[in-house]
Homo-oligomer: A and B are copies of this chain.
């Protein structure tokens, strides 16, 4: 679906596709010529704006009060929820390089390597376009935490507060290992003319890294069953069902681009001069707790909150109650 820029759909929802007026020079070389950025803003009219950024499969629809399942953060963000859209407006975007309305790789096409700084640069132009001088806060999780830190380093005056969840100043080499294998699988699928199957497989692997061993032990402690002469394990059925669902909705080329962008991410946390809350999940396999603690030490103005969750890296999608109390500090009045 294509949306006209700034077409207001109802009194409290607006969305559009913003075309940057010029060339966007990229951190790792190359540029994008007048790239587009899909955006959506929803919540209490005239309330302060919070930018919500999720993982690489997130998109501009953070929540949708009318169709809750359409929002990638629907368990946490909405009227009366942990991030209460009766009190704030929430801005979401489609990432550059992704599968949404923003500029990204075409099927089979070549696309330059993207940095979290590139997302930050494009986002700040969008804020200008939307006439948002200053964000009340950015709440970023996973890749979104990385982009939040990139904005914090480059554009501190634009943001009142950062909430950095399950994402650090750089990727851990073990997480890079797992994602490197995922990218090889996807490229292998593309080279074999079976891109969708490759993407299914890569996503199945990714799902195993998003959750904690304890969650899998509790859910999948069942004997294998025989299907068409082969043993199939309960956890295998789950992973590949998730993989198939993902591959039906996302492009292999976008996955490659954003997965690489995570591993290329490297910001200087000591230069992020914004009050920050760092939320770390002890069971996160992908972003070890030690890396989040080190991030909180490097950030000049950070408070660290450690949580436990069987959902591991995906805790930000699930732990609404814990997040609700933390998000209370985001509702204060700021100058705008």
Interface of A toward B, CB cutoff 8 Å: 28, 113, 172-174, 176-178, 180-181, 184-185, 188-189, 192, 194, 197-198, 201, 204-205, 207-208, 213, 216-217, 219-221, 223-224, 231, 233-236, 239-240, 260, 263-264, 266, 285, 288
CB contact between A192 and one of B177, B192, B207 (< 8 Å): that residue? B192
CB contact between A177 and one of B28, B173, B188, B235 (< 8 Å): that residue? B235
Number of copies: 2
A205 and B208 form a contact (CB under 8 A): no
Chain B residues with CB under 8 A of A260: 231
Check A240/B184 contact, CB under 8 A, given A113-B231, A264-B224, A288-B213. yes
Chain B: CB-nearest residue to A174:
B213
Chain B: CB-nearest residue to A178:
B208
B181 and A205 form a contact (CB under 8 A): yes
A95–chain B nearest beta-carbon distance, Å: 18
6 contacts between A and B (CB under 8 A): A113-B231, A177-B208, A180-B233, A181-B204, A205-B205, A285-B285
B204 and A236 form a contact (CB under 8 A): no
A213 and B172 form a contact (CB under 8 A): yes
Chain B: CB-nearest residue to A229:
B110
CA distance A266 to B231 in the complex (A): 14
B174 and A217 form a contact (CB under 8 A): yes
Chain B residues with CB under 8 A of A189: 188
A180 and B231 form a contact (CB under 8 A): no
Check A174/B231 contact, CB under 8 A, given A194-B192, A201-B188, A266-B223. no
A173 and B240 form a contact (CB under 8 A): no
A107–chain B nearest beta-carbon distance, Å: 19
A184 and B201 form a contact (CB under 8 A): yes
CA distance A268 to B216 in the complex (A): 22
Chain B residues with CB under 8 A of A184: 201, 204, 240
B185 and A236 form a contact (CB under 8 A): no
Chain B residues with CB under 8 A of A213: 172-174, 288
Check A176/B233 contact, CB under 8 A, given A192-B194, A194-B192, A224-B263. yes
CA distance A204 to B264 in the complex (A): 20
Check A239/B181 contact, CB under 8 A, given A174-B217, A217-B173, A231-B264. yes
A128–chain B nearest beta-carbon distance, Å: 30
Chain B: CB-nearest residue to A201:
B184
CA distance A208 to B180 in the complex (A): 10
Chain B: CB-nearest residue to A212:
B174
CA distance A207 to B184 in the complex (A): 15
- Which of A208, A216, A239, A288 is packed against the most chain B CB atoms within 10 Å? A208
CB contact between A208 and one of B181, B197, B239 (< 8 Å): that residue? B181
A313–chain B nearest beta-carbon distance, Å: 13
Chain B residues with CB under 8 A of A264: 224, 231
Chain B: CB-nearest residue to A29:
B226
Chain B: CB-nearest residue to A202:
B181
CB contact between A180 and one of B172, B180, B236, B285 (< 8 Å): that residue? B236
